Structure 1
Amino acid sequence: MKKALWLIAGIGIGFLVAHQFNQTKSGKEFFAEFDKKAKEFSDSLVDGYREREAELRSAIADAGDKVSKIAK
């Protein structure tokens, strides 16, 4: 229980410090750059996921075609 309280206190203090830092010019620049990089990262993950999904769907379609030809 004591560890959970320390965790909650740490999160709260971290939030307050980040909020205060965001009020400064350099803080705004830092968080803008951080947001930009996080968005780029998440966009690349989504693109990779969609690309792999398309590859798998194509492979499944090819396998289905081969099974249909064999069944005839």
Structure 2
Amino acid sequence: MKNLVMLIVGVGIGFVAAHQINKTPEGRRFFEEVDSRVGEFTGAVVDGYRTREAELRAAVAEAEETIADLKRAQS
């Protein structure tokens, strides 16, 4: 329980500090840069996910075709 309270207090202090830092021009630039980098990272993760998903869908489609061909050959 004590750890949870400490976590909540730490998060609150972090928000207050970030708000105060964001009020300065340097702080605003810092947070804009962080936001930009997070956006780039998120975009890269999404692109990677979509690429892998397409690869897996193609593999499943190929496997389904192979299974269908084998069933036709057995008939």
On whether the aligned pair clears a TM of 0.5, the verdict is yes
Q: Distance in 2 between matches of 1:54 and 1:20?
A: 44
Tell me the alpha carbon deviations over residues 21-46 of structure 1, each in whole angstroms, 9 at most, x when there is no partner.
00000000000000000000011101
CA RMSD of superposed structures (Å):
0.9
State the shift of 1:2 in Å: 2.4
Within the alignment, does 1:38 sit opposite 2:38 as a pair?
Answer: yes
The aligned counterpart of 1:11 is: 11
For structure 2, the 5+ residue unaligned runs are none
For structure 1, the 5+ residue unaligned runs are none
Within the alignment, does 1:56 sit opposite 2:56 as a pair?
Answer: yes
State the shift of 1:4 in Å: 2.0
Paired AA for residue 20 in structure 2: Q
Q: Distance in 1 between matches of 2:64 and 2:52?
A: 18
Aligned-residue identity in percent: 49
Q: Distance in 1 between matches of 2:30 and 2:4?
A: 30
